[in-house]
Amino acid sequence: MPDGAGEIRLSLEGLNCAQCSATIEKKVAALPGVTSAAIDLVGGRMRVSLSGKEHPEELLSSIRTVVSSVEPGVMVSEERSANAPSSLPKGDMIRLAAGAMLWLAALFLPLGETARLLLYVTAYLTAGIEVIRTVAGNLRRGTLFDEFFLMTAATGGAFAIGEFSEAVAVMLFYETGELVQSLAVERSRRSILSLLDIRPDRATILEDGEWKAVRAEDVTAGSTLLVKPGERVPLDGKVLGGTSSLDTSSLTGESVPTDVSEGSEVLAGSVNLGGTLTMSVLRPFGETTLSKGLRLIEEARERKAPTERFITSFARWYTPSVVVLAALLALVPPLAGLGGFRDWGYRALVFLVVSCPCALVISVPLALFGGMGAASRRGILLKGGNVLETLARTKAVLFDKTGTLTRGVFRVTEVHPSSFMTARELIETAAAAERGSNHPVARAIAAAAGGGQGPALPVEEFPGLGVRVVLKGREILAGNAALLEQHGVSVGGDPGTKPGAVVHVARDGRYAGFLVVEDTLREEAREAVDRLRKLGVSTVGMLSGDRPENAGKCARELGLDLWEGGLLPAGKLDSFRRIRNEAGGTTLFVGDGMNDAPLLAAADAGFAMGGLGADAAIEAADGVLLRDDPLGAAEAIEIARRTRAIVWQNIAFALGVKGLVLVMGAFGVATMWEAVFADVGVALLATLNAARILQAAGARNG
């Protein structure tokens, strides 16, 4: 049962009521030893944080008791797979069908009054037994003002004033509507979750000279993995042999297959479209880029957006307020001589039926979760609905340069040897020093010399300066001018202010020359800038730790509004805060490096590049761009604004229809039929409207 020290995760199968989930959270959080409880309604999960490291089995029993007291029929168990199969609620369907047949018999058969009343009562109990049972349990525990109480009071009141047929019909249509709404919620839920659970459970690895199928979570880094055509890659790895094309659309939203060959890095979740691949596993199951992304989304569904929190709070006082108004409506006008108690009592019952806030409480989080699902289809993982609301208000977007607007893939563009060395000798000498380093500039120099030629020598690294190696007794230095000067080597030549990284080289204490290594601009960067401007983003800029001349060249090519180069992490943070104040609104930052982590954490919203990004940057960010594509920032803002529009459509629609029917009911114009539509019908329509954002994303992705 434990998921980790001080926390357990449970599956809540059959929970579709948002108001009930809030009650369960509150009651579970009040249990001894529990510090907090968070329910992910879309995922059907609950995370319970504990005050100690012990997870007694008695706690699970207590949680089951709480859940059953609030929502009977919900199954509580250890967390299941997101894609566990679900079945139609056949028992509820049979019960409602039987209730409908009894109601029709009472309505149309030629019966005496007593027999007709008996059939109505039987039909009512058959259709509403679960509602009545829940209300009875809640009353014993002192819980009132939930949707079940309102519906029981309204239909019971209808019986009291002789509206037998309408009472049964309202309960029947309420329960039928709840069933249809539950199925719609489940469909939306599974549409979202289907985007997320794309990790294969099995992997084929080489063990004792044979290929064996094992659980993916049991595979360790360094293992040799076999991926056959049509299979999904189970773990992050580097191709050892074979060539193929990979479908990465489930990860990045990119529909064009990616070609891979020996040396290519492959992410878990990709589908092998071509030949057989052998791979070396880079990261274990729980540390793959995909696993980290899925964890982000699981945690995100527990983070409530401000609008969602407001709606939940609103529902807590809205329902009791309407109950009080209904009581006043039933009593005050008759006592004032404005009509009979039966007429005003009926109007009060309409009030009760309308007052259920389900349409708001379920449709708002569904729309937000739908927005997160739509973003995930485009390779954008968001850490919560609150991020969507922040993105929708974006006024300025600032980018890091290297690895964000540029590919972080360098190439040698200039070679300037000293008089005693040829250009080829200078490249080979520099490569001998850099071949043992994983720095992008070092890899570019090694590639210019012929990639893997020559052994990787033991490297002495000087952070921020360069490296030193000894090759056949000869000392080689490669780095900036400060490194050579520290070792007593005078730097010759004049690199000036060339764009790119200047790498000075010395051999045996003599200056050998310098190389210029430049980054390559991403093709999508210009489109990202243009899309952001079309979205009305007032400021698009860049903050870089690279040399000002490099940053300036990149900014001019992209047509950025502003840029700053040569910034240390603290300087980046200061510049960001100043620019945010000048922009006068929500500011998004997109970066990838370790040095971007403080800024990503401080920004109104921060995006890390998921493939190239450092772990610290991904942890600090509010979202992850799996495609390593700055265009994802613009797409995220588009999705956020579309989601916000749907959220407010649902709020306006639900409040508008409910308000209209409440007024009509108070004046005796609306009946319980309209009241049922204002409750269940509006909730169903709002749920279907919330699902539109997924359909839009699917159409675009297709």
- In the chain, domain spans: 2-78, 202-287, 369-405+523-641, 407-520
**192 confidence band (pLDDT: 50, 70, 90):** low
Cα dihedral 320, 326, 327, 332, rounded to 10, equals: 140
Quickly list DSSP for 313-348. HHHHHHHHHHHHHHHHHHHHHHHTTSS-HHHHHHHH
Class for the domain spanning 202-287:
mainly beta
pLDDT at 514: 92
**23 confidence band (pLDDT: 50, 70, 90):** confident
pLDDT at 559: 92
pLDDT at position 366 over 80: no
pLDDT at 541: 93
pLDDT at position 211 over 60: yes
- Burial status of residue 68 (CB atoms within 10 A of its CB: 0-12, 13-18, 19 or more): middle
pLDDT at position 338 over 90: no
What is the Cα–Cα distance from 151 to 348, expressed in whole angstroms?
12
Length of the chain: 702
263 against 57, higher pLDDT: 263
pLDDT at 141: 65
**300 confidence band (pLDDT: 50, 70, 90):** very low
Q: Give the CATH superfamily of 407-520.
A: Calcium-transporting ATPase, cytoplasmic domain N (3.40.1110.10)
CA angle 283, 286, 292 (to 5 degrees): 95
Residues 6+ apart with CB under 8 A from 37: 24, 25, 28, 29, 46, 47, 48, 49
Per CATH, domain 369-405+523-641 is 1.20.1250.20: no
**82 confidence band (pLDDT: 50, 70, 90):** very low
pLDDT at 608: 83
530 against 290, higher pLDDT: 530
pLDDT at position 452 over 60: no
What is the Cα–Cα distance from 120 to 498, expressed in whole angstroms?
89
The most confident of 15-29, 51-65, 478-492, by mean pLDDT: 478-492
pLDDT at 408: 67
Hey, what are 238's tokens? Answer: 């580097």
pLDDT at 530: 94
What is the Cα–Cα distance from 272 to 258, expressed in whole angstroms?
10
Query: Is the Cβ–Cβ distance between 577 and 571 less than 8 Å?
Result: no
The mean-pLDDT minimum among 143-147, 385-389, 473-477, 487-491 falls in: 143-147
Calculate mean pLDDT across residues 424-439. 84
Q: How many CB atoms lie within 10 A of CB 125?
A: 14
The mean-pLDDT minimum among 261-265, 385-389, 483-487, 653-657 falls in: 385-389
- State which amino acid sits at residue 139: L
pLDDT at 466: 82
The most confident of 41-50, 128-137, 580-589, by mean pLDDT: 580-589
Calculate mean pLDDT across residues 261-283. 85
CATH architecture under which domain 2-78 falls: 2-Layer Sandwich (3.30)
Average pLDDT of the residues of the chain? 78
163 against 340, higher pLDDT: 340
| pLDDT tens-digit map of 520-560 | 888 889 999 999 999 999 999 999 877 788 888 889 989 99
pLDDT at position 342 over 80: yes
The mean-pLDDT minimum among 183-187, 512-516, 642-646 falls in: 183-187
pLDDT at position 179 over 80: no
pLDDT at position 406 over 50: yes
| pLDDT tens-digit map of 456-466 | 677 787 766 78
Answer positive or negative: Cα dihedral of 403, 404, 409, 414: negative
pLDDT at 7: 73
b/e map of 591-611 (b: 16 or more CB within 10 Å)? Answer: bbbebbbbbbbebbbbbbbbb
User: How many percent of the chain have pLDDT more than 70?
Assistant: 78
Answer positive or negative: Cα dihedral of 52, 55, 56, 62: positive
pLDDT at position 236 over 50: yes
pLDDT at position 242 over 80: yes
Quickly list DSSP for 634-668. HHHHHHHHHHHHHHHHHHHHHHHHHHHHHHHHHTT
What is the Cα–Cα distance from 457 to 467, expressed in whole angstroms?
11
**245 confidence band (pLDDT: 50, 70, 90):** confident
Hey, what are 373's tokens? Answer: 């699902």
| pLDDT tens-digit map of 122-155 | 998 998 888 888 777 777 766 666 667 777 777 7
Residues taking part in catalysis: 400
pLDDT at position 451 over 60: no
pLDDT at 5: 47
305 against 503, higher pLDDT: 503
Calculate mean pLDDT across residues 480-502. 77
| pLDDT tens-digit map of 588-618 | 999 876 667 778 877 888 888 865 455 656 6
Q: Tell me the pTM.
A: 0.63
